[in-house]
Amino acid sequence: MSISSAPGKIILFGEHAVVYGRPALAIPVMQVQAKVEVTGSSRPGIRIAAPGVELDAELNTLPSDHPLAAVIHNLLFSLGISPFPALEIKITSTIPVASGLGSGAAVSVALIRALASFLGRPLTDEQVNAFAYEIEKLHHGTPSGIDNTVITYARPVYFIKDHMMETLPVGAPFTLVIGDTGLRAPTKESVGDVRRLWESDKHRWEQVFDAVGRIAESARRIIEAGRPQELGAYMDQNHALLQEMTVSSPELDHLVEAARKAGALGAKMSGGGRGGNMIALATPTTAEGIAASLRAAGAKNTIITTVG
Ligand code: PMV
């Protein structure tokens, strides 16, 4: 048997603008994980069971653009494995789907690693990341690649699409509270809506993306310098720019406000938006109180995580 797990993630700064070449920062969230178990089977074919999404199917009954089928096909073809072996694949995950925590990318990364290792062909992180990026394109259409990158490397990253990925040294640890609106919203739609805005007035939206990019650059320096308390104001500014892009929602804005009222140093939505999760900057002493306030304000779940 081969087992592999991959963490969730959140975007600290720069979502959406990252699709247009601006830098973004993301961190893994180890409290939630996708897990894949691959075992040999006495029955021919490849059977995939993902009880969390009510899937129990033979590989060849899934459409070829189904993300799980695509992971398996891409990988086995690339490794030159033919005919396909008889396998049982079990996928479980504690990462909520379509909520900005990278569930699709985490399943891809865990599945790629578990399959490759079961077949005796372990891959480098760079190879895993490249395979996972191909699958992200099926989920999103025009992904920046930040999700698969931060999840593959499971380290804080500073990322520019098609250009660079650096792991981010964290000068002093800081605490975040993640709050889930409980609303599921496909990233593909919010990314598509931002694209329509951009197409209607490229000059205006390039300036907005530039402003987001400057925030991500400043945030990187602040994190490296170990002055995380200064991040709060940048989170607030980044949230305002995401509101301008129309990707926040009343529920996200409500949780962001609740976090600020409960003493967060700053707060913003995170990821594709319209639903999913928001993040708030806390301290070790304020984190529990902020999480309780978020739940009182309607958050379906909260996670406290320390970066660095
Ligand atoms: O998967 P999510 O919800 O964290 O969103 C990804 C971040 C976007 O910038 C909105 C899209 C992308 O491909 O980078």
Domain boundary among 107, 132, 167: 167
- Condensed to tens digits (0 to 9), the pLDDT of residues 119-164 reads 999 999 999 999 999 999 887 778 999 999 999 999 999 999 999 8
Q: Alpha helices, DSSP H only, in the chain?
A: 67-78, 103-118, 125-140, 146-153, 187-200, 202-225, 231-244, 250-261, 287-296
Same domain for 221 and 303, yes or no, is yes
Same domain for 145 and 202, yes or no, is no
Per-residue model confidence (pLDDT) at position 138: 83
Same domain for 197 and 280, yes or no, is yes
Domain boundary among 134, 167, 200: 167
Same domain for 31 and 117, yes or no, is yes
Which residue from 9, 11, 245 has its CB within 8 A of the most atoms of ligand 1, so it is best to mutate?
11
Same domain for 47 and 148, yes or no, is yes
CA 120 to ligand 1 center in whole angstroms: 32
Domain boundary among 151, 167, 183: 167
Which residue from 20, 99, 140 has its CB within 8 A of the most atoms of ligand 1, so it is best to mutate?
140
Same domain for 144 and 60, yes or no, is yes
Q: What percent of the chain stands above pLDDT 70?
A: 100
CATH number at residue 247: 3.30.70.890
- For residue 205, the enclosing domain spans 174-307
Q: How many domains does the structure of the chain reveal?
A: 2
Per-residue model confidence (pLDDT) at position 142: 84
- Condensed to tens digits (0 to 9), the pLDDT of residues 243-267 reads 999 999 999 999 999 999 999 999 9
CA 101 to ligand 1 center in whole angstroms: 9
CA 80 to ligand 1 center in whole angstroms: 32
Question: Residue 307's pLDDT band (boundaries 50, 70, 90)?
Answer: very high
Same domain for 39 and 160, yes or no, is yes
Active-site residue flag, 147: yes
- Condensed to tens digits (0 to 9), the pLDDT of residues 51-110 reads 998 999 999 999 988 999 999 999 999 999 999 999 999 999 999 988 999 999 999 999
**Catalytic residue from among 147, 180, 236, 253:** 147
3-class DSSP state for residue 246? coil
Cβ within 8 Å of residue 171, ≥6 positions away? 223, 224, 225, 226, 227, 228, 308
* Phi then psi dihedrals of residue 176, to 5 deg: -120, 145
Same domain for 187 and 104, yes or no, is no
Same domain for 51 and 181, yes or no, is no
CATH number at residue 31: 3.30.230.10
Among candidate residues 141, 162, 165, the one with its CA nearest the CA of residue 154: 165
Record the pTM.
Answer: 0.94
Atom of ligand 1 nearest to the CA of 105: 1
Q: What percent of the chain stands above pLDDT 90?
A: 93
Lining ligand 1 with CB less than 6 A are: 11, 15-16, 18-19, 100, 102, 140, 143-144, 146-147, 187, 191, 271-272, 276
